[in-house]
């Protein structure tokens, strides 16, 4: 049976308004460039030149795979499926997609593994290994910034912190941001990835935990974790 999404967006807006003024951590977490108020039009994204990715491994260190090694998996709660490298990587990326669907915007389109080696930026190579997803490409074209409202941005930061930094967000890329892009950001065999994947799987067996539970993203501990990780990941983008 499908999970039913909670009343996420109205709840998040109420929590966002209540949290304003909570402190410097909140302000830093929600900082967006001047003029950000709504999703960008696709024509705001400058065309990107694509080159061929020739390496045997993708930017995050995972081997390039053929379509026969990618599994098409369902995003629970959404009417969407995505091709990913099965296992721990898929477990974590599907969790990201579920939370995004429940708390940010309904996922109608999601891209995953692909065989086309033409990339506009190195991070796009990660689709070749099935270790990256692209949510709502029509809403978040490559090169466009400021496509998230502040409470949506705070939710994305909370998702990344919940994944303990094993996932990186394309919105932090300095030269070609893609705000619908999320990728595994650790090498194969990294114990942190397995730890996060195990915890996510445990949540599916316990009511009131995991995606669909509308966490209090503006609680002080969650804000601190999200803000600290945001600082580290933006510095290395």
> Which of 184, 103, 168, 177 has its CA nearest to residue 147?
177
Alpha helices in 71-216, H assignment, sequence order:
88-103, 150-162, 191-203
* Per-residue model confidence (pLDDT) at position 204: 75
C-beta contacts of 189-192 below 8 A and 24+ residues apart: 190/166, 192/164, 192/165, 192/166
Burial of 3 (0-12, 13-18, 19+ CB in 10 A): middle
* Per-residue model confidence (pLDDT) at position 46: 54
* Per-residue model confidence (pLDDT) at position 49: 80
The series of mean pLDDT values per 10 residues for the chain, 237 residues long, is 43 42 48 44 58 97 98 94 98 97 95 97 98 96 95 97 97 96 98 96 69 78 94 90
* Per-residue model confidence (pLDDT) at position 215: 80
For residues 14, 152, 40 and 164, what is the CA-based torsion angle, rounded to 10 degrees?
A: 170
- Phi, psi torsion values for 155, nearest 5 degrees: -65, -45
Domain ranges of the chain: 8-235
Q: How many CB atoms lie within 10 A of CB 27?
A: 12
Per-position DSSP letters for 51-68, written without gaps between them: EE---SB-TTSPBP--GG
Range list of β-strands (E), the chain:
51-52, 71-74, 81-84, 110-111, 118-119, 132-135, 167-169, 181-184
* Per-residue model confidence (pLDDT) at position 208: 56
Q: What separation in angstroms does the CA of 153 have from each of 16, 32, 67, 145, 169?
A: 11, 9, 32, 12, 11
Task: Give the pair of three-digit tokens for residue 39.
Answer: 């999703």
Whole-prediction pTM: 0.80
């Amino acid at each position: 049976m499908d999970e039913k999404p909670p009343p996420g967006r109205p709840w998040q807006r109420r929590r966002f308004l209540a949290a304003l003024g909570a402190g410097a951590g909140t302000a830093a977490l929600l900082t967006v460039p001047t003029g950000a108020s709504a999703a960008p039009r696709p024509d705001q994204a400058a065309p990107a030149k694509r080159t061929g990715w020739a390496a045997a491994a993708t930017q995050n260190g995972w081997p390039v795979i053929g379509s026969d090694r990618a599994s098409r998996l369902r995003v629970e709660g959404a009417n969407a499926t995505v091709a990913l490298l099965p296992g721990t990587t898929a477990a974590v990326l599907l969790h990201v997609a579920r939370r995004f669907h429940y708390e940010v915007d309904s996922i109608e389109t999601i891209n995953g593994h692909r065989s086309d080696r033409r990339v506009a930026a190195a991070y796009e190579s990660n689709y070749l290994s099935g270790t990256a997803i692209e949510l709502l490409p029509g809403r978040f074209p490559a090169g466009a910034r400021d496509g998230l409202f502040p409470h949506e941005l705070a939710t994305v930061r909370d998702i990344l912190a919940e994944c303990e930094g094993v996932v990186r967000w394309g919105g932090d890329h300095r030269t070609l941001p893609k705000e619908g892009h999320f990728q595994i950001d650790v090498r194969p065999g990294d114990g942190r990835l397995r730890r996060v994947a195990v915890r996510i799987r445990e949540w599916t067996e316990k009511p009131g935990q995991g995606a669909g539970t509308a966490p209090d993203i503006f609680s002080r501990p969650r804000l601190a974790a999200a803000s600290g990780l945001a600082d580290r990941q933006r510095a290395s983008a």
